[in-house]
Amino acid sequence: MFNKNSKQIVQDIFDPLDININGSRPWDIQVHNPGFYQRILSGGPLALGESYMDKWWDVEQLDEFIHQLLSARLETRIVTPQQVLTVIKSRIFNMQTLSRSKKVAKEHYDLGNEFYKKMLDKRMQYTCGYWKKAKNLDEAQEHKLDLICRKLQLEKGDRVLELGCGWGGLAKYMAEQYGCHVTAYNISKEQVNYAKELCKSLPVKIICQDYRLAKGTFDKVVSIGLCEHIGYKNHRTLMKVADRCLKSEGLFLLHTIGKDISVSNTDPWINKYIFPNSMLPSVKQISTAAEGYFILEDWHNFGKDYEKTLLAWYKNFNKNWPLFESRYGERFYRMWRFYLLSCVGLFRARRAQLWQIVFSKQGNTQEYASIR
């Protein structure tokens, strides 16, 4: 039964955030179903996202609404039993074993290459672009790829190991622009098939296996957007793999989204609908995992660039949605709108960052010059 006081409780929570229920400003929430209030009070962040998917509420400027919520750390004020259970599970079990790690590939990355082609840039980059001198998404992603190559000090003939290669854009770029030989690991069949075709005439080997199975010795190791998926119980394993495969004088670049606090799980809505068993690492978790394996050479934060990248993706997604509407349906549209724009709010609130970290191996005496 609807609790008539629950609306006032929610409005009392929103008041310090400058959000009004059924207000007139772009970030004011418009509630269509009176059951919404009790639903989010009992269900927390998961219920907020699911009730949006169910059309129980709308807001014109969703990214700014989420920005207001996250700036005040509202998610810490409504904690549900399900959230507590998730935290307990993540601390007891390794949520990213070899078998569990394939779930996100099947549910998210294997949606279909045509869908991602319409949303992303021409190089199919599904990580943050570098907007320092870029005028559009294509430029931002090309500048990101070149920034990575320069930070790795790539030279012609270098053998590079890529752990988690997406659709092969970086591998292709390193081979074409820097004359490198690249071996890349990925568990998404859709991405692997695309990457193999993309790089078929280049010295690039795409392997459909988990990063933990990587073999060989390489001049450089790079991992772009993988660390967010592997869970804190596997951070040390990632460092061990990079160390095992890297020559003594080599460099390892890690590109990852990061959080300002250490956690063991992710937002429950993101976990259920977008990135199963994912988790954003903290500075402490990464540095602890690297201790004993690597020397930290450079830590570059350009998290504000992710807001621009996500808004560009959302613009492309919205523009091309009519091509996919009959296949995926309205609930999928609302799910992706909530995903992309809530992430915009996340980065706008500085609750998440984007880090590029350069490591050298223990014992490496070469001097490293930071590049921006």
Contact 279, 266 (CB under 8 A): yes
Residues 75 and 192 grouped into a single domain: no
CATH number for 146:
3.40.50.150
Q: For residue 181, what is the DSSP state?
A: E
Return the SS3 of 246. strand
Longest dimension (CA), the chain: 70
H helices of 152-261, in order, are: 169-178, 189-198, 227-230, 235-245
**Rounded-to-integer distance, Cα 257 and Cα 254, Å:** 10
Output the pLDDT for position 61: 98
First-residue to last-residue Cα distance in the chain: 57
Enter the pTM of the model: 0.90
Both 53 and 166 in one domain: the answer is no
| Shared-domain flag, residues 26 and 151 | no
Residues 59 and 35: beta-carbon distance below 8 Å: no
Residues 305 and 335 in one domain: yes
Q: Is residue 85 one of the residues assigned to a domain? A: no
Block mean pLDDT (10 aa), the chain, length 372: 76 93 96 96 93 98 96 66 46 55 63 92 98 98 98 98 97 98 96 96 97 97 96 95 97 97 88 91 97 96 97 98 96 97 97 97 85 94
Q: How are the residues of the chain apportioned to helix, strand and coil, as percentages rounded to the nearest 5?
A: 50, 15, 35
Orientation angle between helical segments 235-245 and 283-290, nearest 10 degrees: 40
- In this structure, the answer to whether residues 38 and 155 fall within a common structural domain is no
Q: At a CB cut-off of 8 Å and minimum separation 6, what does 297 contact?
A: 251, 358, 359, 360, 368, 370
Report DSSP state, residue 38: H
Q: How far is CA 104 from CA 120, 314, 344, in A?
A: 19, 21, 21
Torsion sign, CA atoms 241, 246, 249, 250: negative
Mention every residue, 6+ apart, whose C-beta is less than 8 A from residue 201: none
The answer to whether residues 109 and 74 belong to one domain is no
Contact between residue 345 and residue 70 where contact means Cβ atoms under 8 Å apart:
yes
Residue-level pLDDT at 102? 58
Q: How far apart are CA 55 and CA 300, in angstroms?
A: 40
What was the pLDDT predicted at 366? 82
For the chain, how big is the Rg over CA atoms in Å?
Answer: 21
Token pair, residue 295, equals: 């020397």
For the four alpha carbons of 206, 209, 214 and 216, in that order, the dihedral sign comes to negative
**Same structural domain for residues 203 and 298?**
yes
Residues 311 and 344 sit within 8 Å (Cβ to Cβ): yes
58/129 same-domain check: no
Range of the domain at 10: 6-79
- Whether residue 72 is found in the same domain as residue 111: no
* Total tally of structural domains belonging to the chain: 2
Exposure of 85 by Cβ count < 10 A (0-12 exposed, 13-18 middle, 19+ buried)? Answer: exposed
Q: Are residues 242 and 355 in the same domain?
A: yes
Q: Are residues 175 and 269 in the same domain?
A: yes
48 SS3 class: helix
Query: Residue with structure tokens 């190991």?
Result: 161
Answer yes or no: do 69 and 116 share one domain: no
Per DSSP, helices labelled H in the chain are 6-14, 36-53, 62-71, 81-92, 102-104, 113-119, 137-151, 169-178, 189-198, 227-230, 235-245, 268-273, 283-290, 304-320, 325-328, 330-348
Asked if residue 89 is part of any domain, the answer here is: no
**Is 367 among the domain residues?**
no
Q: Which residues are catalytic?
A: 343
pLDDT score recorded for residue 98 = 59
Residue 167 neighbours by CB under 8 Å, 6+ apart: 113, 116, 124, 126, 191, 194, 195, 198
